Amino acid sequence: MDFTHSDRAVRLTEQVRQFVRDEIEPRDEEHAAALRESPWAVPPVVEELKQKARTAGLWNLFLPDPELGAGLSNVEYAPMAEVMGASGWASEVFNCNAPDTGNAEVLLHYGSAEQREQWLRPLLDGTIRSAFCMTEPEVASSDATNMAATAVVDGEEIVLNGRKWWSTGIGHPNCAFVIFMGLTDPEAHPYQRHSMVLVPLDTPGVRVERMLSTFGYLDEPFGHGEVTFTDVRLPLDAVIAGPGRGFEIAQGRLGPGRIHHCMRAIGLAERALELACRRALSRTAFGKPLANLGGNRERIANARVAIDQARLLVLHTAWLLDTKGLAGARSEVSQIKAVVPRMTQEVLDMAMQLHGGAGLSDDFPLARAFAGIRSLRFADGPDEVHLGVIARQELRKYGTDR
């Protein structure tokens, strides 16, 4: 296999890196100050830089469709996602932020022409945002077949009832719709029981009950919310691809999405390692630079090795997705989801330790990043589920999956 990037991908990656360095990073404090003043409003600097990024052709880079996006493969987009991941807000500037990227891919591959016109186009224009409502508080959502929320067909309508939480993006002031997943036919095959439904956020019966914090952080202005759906009635054409296809859509959504998550996490790990090295060389204790105390050199070296190993695993998985599809990369997709967030968490922890008390504060981005990456070990399936998938795929090589 060859991970050499195309000339276009190399050029775009360098453009993204330069844009982050020259336009985004110098305005980090301006962005943070705007959120401190108005946590649930879009900082003006975001809209300003979105226009600059779009003018520069650095827009919707995640989308493989060449007419609506950049037309890049997973391998080609991966280094750009890594560069964006080093910044807490770069992805939105390039219109490449989750969960909008996954929702856009769902609409592109499974949505009707009318659904794409109503929701996909404004999403790709960056004029609206979206959320994804799947996880539920009353059941073990690590097993999605436990889902209690319902999406019941009633004549020419679909009726939604249930409670969802950790619905990322629901707090954004421009969030216009959610994708809701619910149980439609409990008698059908377990993977044909559920449906995904497009729900305008202002539909009667939809209520955002509260925003949820992670280690005290609300992740504004996107946030993660608890949302109730009470007798929400929508026309049947709000169902994506038709009733009973929710699991099929979910699997199609999560392959590329996990590549994006993991490459952004690797970018975050790189940023944490950089901060750790700078701190280790600039601070002195007991007459020595921190880099020369205890096992800090080994910790830094191990972080370098772990990041590079994880990156190669993700690129290999991206290559398999590009060449063989999800069926040929099922184990590897779970491998990266189990490995990369854990690796990034460990690198962040090491960097925080080198920063001492400052590493726990908002003077550095480490504590907030740690909260986000720890939650990623649950999002899109907890570690244990992915390790189970890997084991099952491995055992099948020897004639059994039990």
Q: What is the pLDDT of residues 351-376, one digit of tens each?
A: 999 999 999 999 999 999 999 999 99
Is residue 2 in a domain?
no
Q: Which of 211, 240, 269 is the last residue of a domain?
A: 240
CA distance 268 to 113: 37
- Render the burial of 188-204: b for 16+ CB within 10 Å, e for the rest: eeeeebbbbbbbebebe
pLDDT tens figures, 182-195: 999 999 999 999 99
pLDDT attached to residue 121: 97
Task: Kindly state the tokens that stand for 158.
Answer: 């679909």
CA distance 309 to 313: 6
Q: Does the pLDDT value for residue 97 go beyond 60?
A: yes
Beta strands in 155-312 (DSSP E): 157-168, 175-183, 194-200, 206-212, 224-235, 284-285, 288-289
Domain identity same for 107 and 206 = no
CA distances from 42 to 87, 173, 306 (A): 17, 7, 35
Beta strands in 256-342 (DSSP E): 284-285, 288-289
Domain identity same for 192 and 326 = no
210: which DSSP letter?
A: E
Is residue 297 in a domain?
yes
Mean pLDDT of 148-156: 97
Task: Kindly state the tokens that stand for 60.
Answer: 């919707």
Q: Does the pLDDT value for residue 12 go beyond 90?
A: yes
Beta strands in 18-116 (DSSP E): none
CA distance 47 to 263: 24
- Residue 348 contacts residue 369 (beta carbons within 8 Å): yes
Exposed / middle / buried, residue 113 (Cβ in 10 Å: 0-12, 13-18, 19+): exposed
pLDDT attached to residue 1: 76
Domain identity same for 266 and 374 = yes
List the end-to-end C-alpha distance of the chain, in Å, as a whole number: 32
Non-local (6+) Cβ contacts of 329 within 8 A are 255, 317, 320, 321
Mean pLDDT of 165-190: 97
Q: Which of 82, 111, 140 is the last residue of a domain?
A: 111
239: which DSSP letter?
A: B
Q: Does the pLDDT value for residue 92 go beyond 80?
A: yes
Q: Which domain holds residue 350?
A: 247-397
Q: Which of 221, 240, 259 is the last residue of a domain?
A: 240
Domain identity same for 298 and 202 = no
Mean pLDDT of 297-310: 98
Sole residue written with tokens 């993700």: 314
Mean pLDDT of 295-299: 97
> What is the rounded radius of gyration, in angstroms, for the C-alpha atoms of the chain?
21
Structurally, how many domains does the chain consist of?
Answer: 3
Selection from 195, 192, 191 nearest residue 159 by Cα? 195
Domain identity same for 21 and 144 = no
Name the band, by pLDDT with cuts 50, 70 and 90, for residue 400: low
